[in-house]
Amino acid sequence: MRPGRFRHFAAIDWSGAVGERQRGIAVALCGEGRDAPALVRPGHRWSRHEVLDWLLDELPHDTLVGFDMGISLAHADAGAFFPQWAETPANARALWALIDQLCCADPHLTVSSFLDHSEVSRYFRHPGGREGARFGGGRGRLRATELAQQAMGCKPCSNFNLVGAAQVGKSSLTGMRLLNRLSGRIPVWPVDPLSGSGSTVVEIYTTIAAIAGGRRAAKSKMRDYAELNAALINLGSAQIPGEGPIADHASDALITAAWLRMVAPDAALWNPAGLTCEIARTEGWTFGAR
């Protein structure tokens, strides 16, 4: 394993919203050195399928790709994704396959059929005040990596929660459909081991990148070029030309691409203390969570 072998660094701010094309999707890319990251197809409103096609057909060789989503659901706390359901998947890859299978007729990589499933729906908190009988109450179940994020000062949300502006459940589940379609093409760490060559996908939490850039967790969003460029300087990156406002999904992708470039060679981030073999195959991990 050579963590410093990557030559390009991409960050994808993802969206689980309904519809084909999403304002909330942004893709940023940078190479080695100090050159500023740049948006891929600036001004374009991406569809989830277009992101999948870009990954499969246009991704530069040896790219570390960060996806701002949860790549799995909590498992370690109960020994299963869906305890008390006999058909609960055994690991993350089986979970991705189940979601994609149940949603095969859902357009745009959406997940309505999965969330409406008579058994699955019982484990989620749904909009409209509907809480599944097995949701568990409170903030919802958290993965081991989300507990690590919490210890870093972040405020992660349960992927079983589908309610509120901060929820990431829907984006994570739609992302799992995409990950299922990468099978055999691009490995997903740590569900797959880090290979000696080629590209790799990792889960990212853009707040971690923002903190490394000098922001506070509670003020992680950068909505103008001055804030973004100040953070880029702290990450050893050249600045991006521009002034005035910038969409926060774009700034999230840009700052995280630069952060990935800076920290990818750090072997400790590929071997966090809480990452066991069992957690790797079931829950996955957020790159940068310690």
Query: In the chain, what percentage of residues exceed pLDDT 90?
Result: 93
Q: What pLDDT is attached to residue 166?
A: 81
Query: In the chain, what percentage of residues exceed pLDDT 70?
Result: 99
Scanning 23-91, the segments in alpha helix (DSSP H) are 48-57
At 265, the pLDDT band (50, 70, 90 cuts) reads very high
Q: In this structure, are residues 210 and 228 in contact, taking their beta carbons and an 8 Å threshold?
A: no
Whether 2 shows a pLDDT value over 70: the answer reads no
Strands (E), the chain: 8-13, 26-31, 38-39, 63-68, 125-126, 130-131, 200-203
At 3, the pLDDT band (50, 70, 90 cuts) reads low
CA-closest candidate to residue 85, choices 146, 132, 128, 131: 132
Rounded to two decimals, the pTM is 0.96
**How does the average pLDDT of the chain come out, rounded?**
96
Whether 248 shows a pLDDT value over 60: the answer reads yes
Scanning 116-168, the segments in alpha helix (DSSP H) are 144-151
How does pLDDT run across 166-203, given as a tens digit for each residue? 889 999 999 999 999 999 999 999 999 998 999 999 99
Question: What's the domain count of the chain?
Answer: 1
Contact partners, residue 110, CB within 8 Å, separation at least 6: 16, 18, 103, 174
Find the domain containing 205 and state its range.
1-290
